[in-house]
Structures are given as C-alpha cells and as structure tokens.
Amino acid sequence: MEDRQKSLIVELVRNYIKQAEPIGSKFLSGLFGLSPATIRNDMAELEELGYLTQPHTSAGRVPTILAYQFFVKNLDHSKKLSTTEQETINGVLSGSRVDSEQKAKLLAKSLAQLAGDAALIGFAPHDVYYTGLSNLFAQPEFVELNMVRYMSQVIDHMDEAMNSLYPQAGDEVKIVLGDDNPFGRDCAVVFSNCRLNNSGIVFGLLGPLRMDYEANISRLNYVRQNIS
C-alpha cells in the first residue's frame, strides 16, 4: 500500500466511526485535496485488498475488520482525556462515601454514559459486573435482529468471555476485535488492568466495531492512572 492509501484507511475509519454512514470519495477528496477520481481509484484498490467494502448500491465504502485492525494498530495511546470528562470521572472518584468496589461500579456507570458503550469490570474470575448494555443496543448496528440475538447469547456467558481477557490484560490499554474478541467478532473491547485497594481488576469498554477507540483509550488510561 502507498502511504496515501494508509492515510485513507485511517480517515475513512475515523469518519465512519463518527457518521455511521458509508464514506464517499467526494467527502474524502475534500480532506486530502485530491480529485474524487483519484480517491475512487484508491478506494477500489483498497476494496480489492480487503480493507473496504461497498454496502448495497451505496456510492460510499465502509471499513472491514481488516481496516479496523489496521486503524487500532496505528492509534496514538497518549491522547489526553478532555477536561470535561476528567472532571466527571474525578467527581465519581472523590464523591460518595462507599467502599472501593461500589465506587468502581459507579465509575463504570459513568464511563458507560460517557462512551455510549457498555462498561465491564472483572473483579475476579466469575465475579463480573457490567452496565450500559442499553447504550450498546442503541447503536445502529443493533437494528439487525441477528446481532441482538447473538449479543444476548454473549451476555448469558459474560463471565466466560470476561475471564478469557484476564491472561491478556496488562498495565497498557489493549484492544481486541474480530475473531480475537470473546464477546463476538462484530464487537470490540478496550480493556486494561487497574489497581483497586492493592487488588488487580480488569476494566473494559465493550462496543461495536465502530466504537470511538481513541476516546475509549483515553478514558481507560485516565481511570487506570487515578482509580488507585
């Protein structure tokens, strides 16, 4: 791939995450300052390589799992969380006088609202807390009945899916998606180890492939640095 095509993948994924609509060559030509014809040629090549697909008769393209994998592999993990969200999280951490486990659950609820995804906490094997599933099912991807049915089956086995993340969790935020994701190939989970009262917990955000990876990495980095 040429460098321009690599940049094209990144921008197409980034904008598809925001818009949830196929991205057309005219829109991308404005970003790159190139003719729509040049962008169309690049998109056609990327489609042949398996990075893009064209849904139905739409003029635009959407990313495939290969494009998402390329995108997350090249993400900047040092992006800072917005001041507004820092203040929201700080309010939970310094707020109500409850035990640390309950505070972690309150934090999960807050993160689920901020992210528009589901939040997960693995306190120990077979001790899993999750919240924000209504956020997940409100995403456009879940209009499809099969997607809802499949995700409902995953929820029934949430402990097993979460437990499979334990060996992978470390001090850095990690992303799994596609066939590597125990929650399903059409979803992604961003997760990390955190310290809570000298005990290790796994904190994660679960969403569709079209989740805002950059923002969720920033959210979990901030939680990881401040929850202890």
Structural domain count of the chain: 2
Q: Are 69 and 97 in a shared domain?
A: no
> By three-state DSSP, how is residue 156 classified?
helix
pLDDT at residue 63 greater than cutoff 80: yes
Percent of the chain with pLDDT over 70: 98
Q: Are 123 and 188 in a shared domain?
A: yes
pLDDT at residue 185 greater than cutoff 90: no
pLDDT at residue 142 greater than cutoff 80: no
Residue finishing a domain among 24, 39, 73: 73
pLDDT at residue 216 greater than cutoff 70: yes
Residues contacting residue 58 through CB under 8 Å, at least 6 positions apart: 22
Q: Are 152 and 54 in a shared domain?
A: no
Half-sphere exposure of residue 130, counting CA atoms within 13 Å on the CB side?
23
Q: According to the model, what pLDDT value does residue 180 have?
A: 87
Task: Give a yes or no: residue 78 inside a domain.
Answer: no
Q: Are 116 and 217 in a shared domain?
A: yes
> By three-state DSSP, how is residue 173 classified?
coil
Domain that holds residue 110: 83-226
User: For residue 91, how many other CB atoms are within 10 A of its CB?
Assistant: 12
Q: Are 95 and 201 in a shared domain?
A: yes
Q: Are 147 and 183 in a shared domain?
A: yes
Q: Which of 71-75, 131-135, 146-150, 208-212 has the lowest mean pLDDT?
A: 146-150
Q: According to the model, what pLDDT value does residue 228 have?
A: 65
Q: Are 29 and 115 in a shared domain?
A: no
Q: Are 18 and 97 in a shared domain?
A: no
> Can you tell me the distance from the alpha carbon of 122 to that of 158, in angstroms, rounded to the nearest whole number?
10
Task: Please report which confidence band the pLDDT of residue 209 belongs to, taking 50, 70 and 90 as the band edges.
Answer: very high
